[in-house]
Structure 1
Amino acid sequence: MTNDFIFSHVDHTLLKATAAWQDICALCEEAERYHMASVCVPSSFVKKIREHFPSLTICTVVGFPLGNCSTAAKTVEAAEAIRDGADEIDMVIHIGALKEGNLSYVTGEIKAVKETIGDHILKVIVETCYLTEEEKIAACRCVTEGGADYIKTSTGFGSAGAVLSDVKLFRKNVGEKVKIKAAGGIHSKQEMEDFLNAGASRIGASGAIPALLGKG
């Protein structure tokens, strides 16, 4: 795979608590320079990014990183992000609800956020490091039935990130219209190629530039 092809599938990500505007600005300039799929940033920066980088695709996170806030909080957060200019929403499911088998709750909150954002892209983070295989398959059903556009492996803040076996499992169990985003702990060109070959359509990464070009 060429570097340009890989970059076009990368959500260039900066979600650290210490991120300041100068850091976000540098991220956006890099995303424009290398024609990345999007920037993935905290919602507080969305409006300013839209003003300063009008051509960028902006992704932001909702219910991040734990996912255990209320459905109402997630919908309000998503609605405000869209008003501020976000194009895509990456929401974290209520992991505890999934683990206790309350699949109707998980599906319901996905539906609620998708209805809130309409035609904008919704990616659903299921945090695979905390799930059994059975729970991962259940998450695939919830994401599909909830009408989301993507299932996403990880926040990058859990105990582990993306693994190839989970992407392959997702590919077998999500609906045919649901795409896959692999994120968390992806640091090399080979890993990016492997995830894309396994069926991922997006890669969430903060280090794509050094991984592909060997520089910051």
Structure 2
Amino acid sequence: MYNIKNSKELASYINYTNLNNIISEEEVKEFLEKAKKSTFNSVIVSPTYVSLAKETLKDTDIKVGSVVGFPLGFEDSETKVAEVKSLLDKGVDEIDVVVNLSYLKDKKYDLIGKKIEEIKKIMGDKTLKLTIEVKALDDAEKSAVVQVAEKAGADFIKNSTGFVAPCHIYEIVNDINIIQKYAPKIKIEIYGGIDSYKIANQVLTAGADKIASNYGYEIVKRYKELRENTQVTPKPITLTK
């Protein structure tokens, strides 16, 4: 079991996510107000709401992340670079870039690597996460792309956009094992289907560095109720020789 000491530490491993494409501004504000009640590593929102998130969370330590090439990743490289620059202008701290699966299927590893290098150079010390959509890949393709990502300077590999069926915990463990074997220096973020503390703990125990979840607030709230708000009134005891 992963040794989580308290709800504050648990929240620090979570990127609280809302990439709903039909969400209203009022609903985003409600989401961000929930985020402020905890100590999440980051919130992940669509490019539309990055500026709102930065303003709402300016007095917290919560970072703001967003997405490029989302959710299919088939935009050309120039478009992705332009999206990255736009997000940086808005003050984003972390960017999830969806890999072009057509390039990957065609084994255009040099092209993928060069574009990752270009984006990372633009981003500087901001966090670059490469989303690879593991459900569309076989293990050989996963091992190839994570090696390219690590060599090119990506900070994280992320397993999913969340727009496909979530992986079973055994699939997640398999993917984490592949990443750790072939790209041992890169960090790992797991997204999709993490809706309870039990699953969050399993994923962290398996080796993930961060988890992304639409249910981050509920996970931390439930953990806090179970582990930190338990009230016990001990009964008096009599010690006898």
TM-score (norm 1): 0.93
Written as runs of structure 1 = structure 2, the 5 A alignment for 1:119-138 is: 119-138=125-144
1:37 positional shift: 0.6
Matched residue, 2:212: 204
1:194 positional shift: 1.3
Q: Which of 182, 186, 203 is the equivalent residue of 1:173?
A: 182
TM-score (norm 2): 0.84
Using the alignment, how far apart are the partners of 1:120 and 1:110 within structure 2? Answer: 13
CA displacement 1:159-203 (0-9 Å, x = unmatched): 444722212221122142x11000111122111111111221110
Using the alignment, how far apart are the partners of 2:221 and 2:36 within structure 1? Answer: 16
Residue ranges of structure 1 left out of the alignment (5+ in a row): none
**Preserved CA contact (<8 Å) 1:164 1:194:** no
Matched residue, 1:40: 44
Q: Secondary structure at the match of 1:193?
A: helix
Written as runs of structure 1 = structure 2, the 5 A alignment for 1:142-181 is: 142-161=148-167, 163-176=172-185, 178-181=186-189
CA displacement 1:58-109 (0-9 Å, x = unmatched): 0000000000101111111011101101001011000111112111121122
Larger Rg: 2
Written as runs of structure 1 = structure 2, the 5 A alignment for 1:188-203 is: 188-203=196-211
Matched residue, 1:30: 34
Using the alignment, how far apart are the partners of 1:122 and 1:20 within structure 2? Answer: 27
Using the alignment, how far apart are the partners of 1:121 and 1:70 within structure 2? Answer: 21
Written as runs of structure 1 = structure 2, the 5 A alignment for 1:109-124 is: 109-124=115-130
- Runs of 4+ residues over 4 Å off in structure 1: none
CA displacement 1:41-63 (0-9 Å, x = unmatched): 00111112222321331000000
**Preserved CA contact (<8 Å) 1:107 1:146:** yes
CA separation of 1:160 and 1:97: change in aligned 2, threshold 3 A: farther
Matched residue, 1:89: 95
Q: CA RMSD in A?
A: 1.6
Higher mean C-alpha deviation, range 84-93 or range 187-196: 187-196
Using the alignment, how far apart are the partners of 1:101 and 1:67 within structure 2? Answer: 16
Higher mean C-alpha deviation, range 110-119 or range 35-44: 110-119
1:17 positional shift: 0.9
CA displacement 1:118-138 (0-9 Å, x = unmatched): 110001100000000000000
Using the alignment, how far apart are the partners of 2:165 and 2:82 within structure 1? Answer: 28
What percent identity do the matched residue pairs reach?
A: 28
Matched residue, 1:7: 11
Using the alignment, how far apart are the partners of 2:109 and 2:82 within structure 1? Answer: 22
